[in-house]
Structure 1
Amino acid sequence: MSANSHNQTHQLSNLEPVNNPTGRDGLIGIDKVGNAILFMDPVTLETQKVIAHKNHHEVAVSPDHKLAYASEFGKFFAGEFVESGAHISVVDLGTQAIVQRIPTGDFKGPHAMRFDTNGDLWVIFEETGELGRVDTKTMTLAETFDIGAAGKRPPFLEITPNGERIYVSCKLGNIIVFDVPNRSVVTEIDVPHGTEGIALSPDGTHLYAAENTRQDLLEIETATNRISRVIPLKGAVLSNPKTSRLIRLRFSPDGKYLVSTNYASGVMHIHDAADPAIHELLPIAKGPQGIAFDADSTHAIVSNHDCGLFTRIHLKTAKAVECVPAGKGIEALTYY
């Protein structure tokens, strides 16, 4: 079966479950340190298959859960890109095999990806700074946009549930707001020291981002694109904002929880999604990064990038209940 045969043929009305997938069929992880794409049993978390493939970072699951897209970021070391990545790998989730590679040409360092209402895939290029759209019917990079992010290392993007706005975080700059229908930047949200992880509330009314100085959580109203509240995180540690401030954020499928993982400190937070200022601090293993939620939002799986582990978290009690080996250093993962 060709990759193109999986494409959506109808308009997607709500992108929140599309871009925050879960499921019961499997668990896929991108082992950045181990240069592999891993498939795990969704219940036991045991590794079932390993595809050797280097320099991938992020993963997105197609709306029909037939394909996964893995971005070939390249390699960043000692403050510079030592290898450039310029492909997005297309993985058939049924056969658990790479079926196609989408070249991105001069646009380097593809990282986070999100789908729009047409089922096309938007990607941010961290090395060169552009925002791009992959046509998932032709499996080509169809459009690219200079959004003013060159040199600012933009790692993540989120798209509103109605597909009209894209928010791009920059490690070394402001949050950029891109209007999808008009194909243009509409504003920037002033964050002088940059942000990394970002997440939209399930209803799309608020964007949350962790800033790179004190690691406070910023609550941004999407109607005005202004910061409405600054939430200090319990247990945040001081570290070098240029190298180790990564906080990832993700809402649970049932909308009850916001989970944040703090790479620099080896802790995570479980927030009340209705009021993220209410949160529990939970120490876990070194280098927490990716977050995956099971289908009923009972547990979150966190990848501990720096020690090759998964930690299973019971969300209601905010307790770590299990730790299992998982690759050498998984950056991103999701159920499907």
Structure 2
Amino acid sequence: MKNPIFLGFLMLPLALPAQHLLVANQKDHTLSVIDPATNKQIQAIDVHGVTGHEVIASPDGKTAIVPIYGSSGVGKPGTDGNSIDIIDIASGKIVHTIEFPHGVRPHMPLFDPTGRTLYVSTELDKAVTAIDPKTWKPIATLPTGQEQSHMFIVSHSGKRMYTANVGPGNVTVIDIPTRKIVTTIPISGNTQRISISNDDKWVFTSDQTKPQLAVIDTATNTIRQWVPLAGLGYGTAPTKDGKYLIITLRDKNKVAVLDLKTMAIVKTLDMPGAPQEVVVRPDGKMAYVSCLKQVAVIDTTSWTVPTSIEAGNGADGLAWAK
């Protein structure tokens, strides 16, 4: 619910800022809405009593989409979520729920570059499901052919999808127009999270068995090189200028900065807790890193951490809403 302002005998709702940061809090089962101008949480919205790990905002910034994964970790026993909460950010209310006919452990939501298709990983179906955001109805299935297709990324061209398949330790490449698997790229015994460079030349995913980052050449769908890391990599995101990749090292409470021209680590920053995910602000000046109970703010000009923001317990998935 919005915070009210008392004015005479009227109770007027406090308008949300034009832009805000969304944080999915796994352990609190809430969605934090943060004002980036003040670095304060202004809302904590309850989701359906079970864990939502990830979040995305609609292109108009008015709606948050939170898949309800269930009570388990990826590949582990637990409940199998079968729904996605659609939340009106201004009112803080769940306005619609997408329900699958069976448990699919829906995890990562992502809009295609046009904003006309919502994709959500449905890992128990070994697939990514395409949803029409006008009707909130599933319209297509893109098979991955692999277990635990937990996270994925779509190329800026909108033609390719890359899924990080955790337990199998590989990446599936999907041709989106035909909904066909192009190839599967072996990575390691276990891989996590995935991102793509701004020019679509490189896909990045982190080995969970060794402290190294796989750099995939999208022209050949092979690993171009391994980048040694100071700890196990996890979430990654390129900066808006395309020069750097921000890499969370959650077992070291640090973030590494990779120069994408030299493919060398050029900075390492301390984090206030185990860093999970990264989102870069649209203007490119700041990046935000979820750190379990707070969000660290990185100044991408000076590569400093000027402050952190209190969030909910288990802060993980991040999204920017304009």
TM-score w.r.t. the length of structure 2 is 0.87
Contact 1:272 1:279 in 2 (8 A): yes
How many residues end up aligned between the 2 structures? 301
Q: Does 1:110 align with 2:97?
A: no
The answer for the alignment partner of 2:200 in structure 1 is 204
Correspondent of 2:215 among 196, 213, 219: 219
- Report how far residue 128 of structure 1 moved: 4.1
Aligned Cα RMSD in Å?
2.1
SS at match of 2:279: strand
Tell whether the 8 Å contact from 1:103 to 1:140 is kept in structure 2 after alignment. Answer: no
Structure 1 ranges of 4+ moved more than 4 A: none
Identity of aligned residues (%): 27
Structure-to-structure mapping, 1:293-308, within 5 angstroms: 293-305=280-292, 308=293
Tell me which protein shows more strand as a share of its residues. Answer: 2
Q: Give the greater-gyration-radius structure (CA).
A: 2
Corresponding position: 1:140 with 2:128: no
Residues 1:82 and 2:67 are matched in the alignment: no
Task: Pick one of 38, 53, 61 that aligns with 2:32.
Answer: 38
Within the candidate set 109, 116, 119, 1:122 is matched to 119
* CA contact 1:122–1:134 (8 Å) conserved in 2: yes
Cα deviation for residue 176 of structure 1 reads 0.5
Q: Does the residue aligned with 2:150 lie in a helix, a strand or coil? A: coil
1:324 partnered with 2:309 = yes
- Letter of the structure 1 residue corresponding to residue 243 of structure 2: K
Residues 178 and 259 (structure 1), Cα distance of their counterparts in 2 relative to 1, 3 Å cut = same
> How far is the alpha carbon of 1:142 from its aligned partner?
2.2
Picking from 180, 187, 201, the partner of 2:183 is 187
1:110–1:214: structure 2 CA closer, same or farther, 3 Å change rule? same
Could you tell me which runs of 5 or more consecutive residues in structure 2 were left unpaired when the two chains were aligned.
1-16
Shift of 1:86: 0.9
- Of stretches 326-335 and 115-124 in structure 1, the one that deviates more from structure 2 is 115-124
- Indicate whether 1:230 and 2:203 are aligned: no
Question: Which residue matches 1:314?
Answer: 299
CA distance in 2, matches of 1:98, 1:256: 38
Structure 1 251/126 Cα, relative in aligned 2: closer, same or farther at 3 Å? same
Q: Secondary structure at the match of 2:240?
A: coil
String of CA shifts for 1:65-107, please: whole Å, max 9, x gaps.
2322111111115962312211111122343332111112225
Contact 1:34-1:327 at 8 Å conserved across structures: yes
Letter in 1 for 2:304: K
1:333 matched to 2:308: no
- Tell me, yes or no, if the aligned pair for 1:260 and 1:270 is still in contact at 8 Å: yes
Structure 2 vs 1, CA of residues 199 and 143 (structure 1 numbering), >3 Å: closer, same or farther? same
For 2:18 and 2:301, the matched residues in 1 are separated by 20
In the alignment, the residues of structure 1 paired with residue 271 and residue 134 of structure 2 have an alpha-carbon distance, to the nearest angstrom, of 41
Return 160-169 or 86-95, whichever deviates more: 86-95
